[in-house]
A and B are shown apart, each in its own frame.
Chain A
């Protein structure tokens, strides 16, 4: 969970507040002071700061949306949170223990608890594996405890059921699936190792409105039924605002505002959040930003 600012009146830019205050049970996943710079060269190339002091907390069973424009650092943050990328500074905690301090088997064991649903479902699936094989692979990752073929088949069928895909798709290759179906296969594969949290990176970006709603419904159902925590990463504030209880808005490598979704939508405090909210298209044509905004904006 991302804590709302302690003082509603001031700008919520200081995300260190997120970890302050009274002692509380360790959150499921916590990041503190993450910094990540790419492309810093020996010849004085300053590189690109993807993360500039980012702190974020995700509690068990919570649905949090991380919203920001392209290049704001959302995916870099996601990769740091699952331990795929080591930050230059800062720390990620999983169940109250530092994630990156672990090595080898200990790291792999905890690493399973948080699964990433990558942005590009087509690229995330091996084109040479049928759906059933893609789902079986993680189940067979532990060579010491291989499940029997019949229990494997049953688990694959259950996973397909759970994400709302017909079992008949098990024999298909990724290229034979639609974009929405591929997205569900990737989610099913993430579920196969029984994680306690999903980090879904732009899960609805390439889907139409109808399929977006279906995938969001699916994630909500998984949260409800499995008690799964979910960090929903999206550039589309409008798509994710309805399902997330908490919101974090990211801009240029910083979380500029966090809080309860309802509060933030009603009274956004940071300029960027205000601008994002104001530009949300409304069907009645009343969104001024879509009518009058000057085209030239050096800030973008």
Chain B
């Protein structure tokens, strides 16, 4: 899909404006996210921070056009100027997984247990990009190498259960890159990872953001990771999204009470480590 004009530096790739997500009928609607506004630029990472139940995952669903039917969405989600909210299924098919990809929270359930890694990694490139089976397989091998598997070709034949949690997470990232998306949304990618595996994933995501000029939305509750991945931060709390602030400023002088609470915990934890 051509979008070269708006790929100029500074122009937002994904612009979300006044996004409101609510449950139930209009009169008694429960607003989950109210008037959220933010944008993603290519080659940069925005962190979406919030506690459990804040609505972070629901917001990612809105960006992928996979909101549950009980959720009403209002406002605007534009990809290079094209409105996606309420767009026709045919529009979404050209965008979802193809230009905006999601690495879901739980790699174990995001992967199909009945398909090998190679089979599920080939699906997107074959059906979205029209690659042949062998070309899709070659692409999968390359991508597995890119996310740090030294034996990518061999891993194509593995089933998800044969991989460790960190490996599954990296496969999920590789799979999301299958159609060379512009926007990558990663939802709590390190929640199940030990600190060492977490460090691998964070450095990987940062490198991919730079090399592929991805617009990365990094969804997390763990503010201690922000200095290592995020250029800017938005906080979702009680349905309200704060304006984006520079990561350094967010951590040095958190304006929001919830941010202060999270930063205080993260600041206290490394005590005792050499």
Contacts and interface: CB of A to CB of B under 8 A. Distances in A.
Contacts of B53: 178
A281 interface: yes
Interface residues of B, number: 47
Contacts of B192: 70, 205, 235
Contacts, number: 151
Interface in B122-165: 147-148, 150-151, 164-165
B110 interface: no
Contact of A283 (B150, B199, B251, B272): B251
A280 B204 CA distance: 17
Nearest to A266: B274
A207 interface: yes
B54 to A, nearest CB: 8
Given A213-B265, A284-B227, A300-B200, A237 B195 contact: yes
Contact of A293 (B164, B165, B199, B222): B199
Nearest to B146: A295
Contacts of B203: 290-295
Interface string A84-100: 00000000000000000
Interface in A234-251: 235-239, 241-242
Contact of A296 (B150, B196, B225, B274): B150
A66 interface: no
Given A276-B196, A283-B227, A295-B147, A300 B164 contact: yes
Interface string A196-229: 0000000001111111110000000000000000
Nearest to B273: A265
A118 to B, nearest CB: 15
A180 B52 contact: yes
Nearest to A282: B270
Nearest to B227: A285
B167 interface: yes
Contacts of A280: 195, 270, 273
Given A213-B265, A266-B272, A295 B200 contact: yes
B242 interface: no
B223 interface: yes
Contacts of A294: 203
B66 interface: no
A66 to B, nearest CB: 12
B51 interface: yes
Contact of B197 (A67, A179, A265, A300): A300
Contacts of B265: 209-210, 212-213
B274 A267 contact: yes
Nearest to A241: B272
A289 B191 contact: no
Nearest to A284: B227
Interface in A107-160: none
Contacts of B270: 238, 280-283
Given A295-B207, A298-B150, A70 B165 contact: yes
Interface in A163-187: 178-180
B262 interface: yes
Contacts of B151: 298
B199 A279 contact: yes
B15 interface: no
Nearest to A289: B199
Given A209-B221, A241-B269, A290-B203, 4 more contacts: A207-B52, A211-B51, A281-B198, A283-B227
Interface of B: 50-53, 147-148, 150-151, 164-167, 191-200, 202-204, 207, 221-225, 227-228, 251, 261-263, 265-274
Interface of A: 67-71, 178-180, 205-213, 235-239, 241-242, 261-262, 265-268, 272, 275-277, 279-285, 287, 289-298, 300
20 contacts: A178-B52, A206-B191, A208-B50, A212-B265, A237-B194, A241-B269, A241-B272, A242-B268, A242-B271, A265-B274, A282-B270, A283-B224, A283-B263, A283-B267, A285-B228, A289-B196, A290-B225, A300-B148, A300-B164, A300-B200
